[in-house]
Amino acid sequence: QVHLVESGGGVVQPGRSLRVSCAASGFSFDSYGMHWVRQAPGKGLEWVAFIWFDGSNKYYGDSVKGRFTISRDNSKNTVYLDMNSLSVEDTATYYCARDWVSSAFDPWGQGTLVTVSS
């Protein structure tokens, strides 16, 4: 069964950094691209970043470009999101999702909450 489990969320002060992780199981991780999508409390979904199956290409949403970095370790079946220069606007639940056919996101992990607050 395909399973994604995020971790690493927590409370962080504005301007600081945080890394969140997503551990995958139940499928050939090194054959799929992976996304990060976030959802601010009470708000809608926002695509954050995407990484190719082999890590060779990475893409970012405009609101995080230059501050966030997506990476992966296929030997550990894990994708990461390094977040720098965090602001209160980055407060959200961060979901990882597999890039399925035709750029659809399936499945999603349970999410990890990142709260940026002083």
Partner 1 sequence: QSALTQPRSVSGSPGQSVTVSCTGASSDVGDYNYVSWYQQHPGKVPKLIIYDVIKRPSGVPDRFSGSKSGNTASLTISGLQADDEGDYYCCTTAGTYSYIFGPGTRVTVL
Binding segment for partner 1 among 7-15, 24-32, 37-45, 74-82 (CB under 8 A)?
37-45
Binding segment for partner 1 among 15-23, 69-77, 82-90, 98-106 (CB under 8 A)?
98-106
Burial 23-36, CB ≥16 within 10 A → b, else e: bbeeeebeebbbbb
CB of 78 to partner 1, least distance (A): 19
Torsion of CA 42, 44, 46, 52, to 10 degrees: 110
Residue nearer to partner 1 on the CB measure, 103 or 118: 103
Q: Which of 94, 111, 114, 116 binds partner 1 (CB under 8 A)?
A: 111
Q: Is 50 in the site for partner 1 (CB under 8 A)?
A: yes
Amino acid present at 93: T
Nearest-angstrom CA–CA distance, 76 and 7: 14
Q: Which of 5, 9, 61, 77 binds partner 1 (CB under 8 A)?
A: 61
CB of 104 to partner 1, least distance (A): 4
Q: Which of 8, 100, 113, 115 binds partner 1 (CB under 8 A)?
A: 100
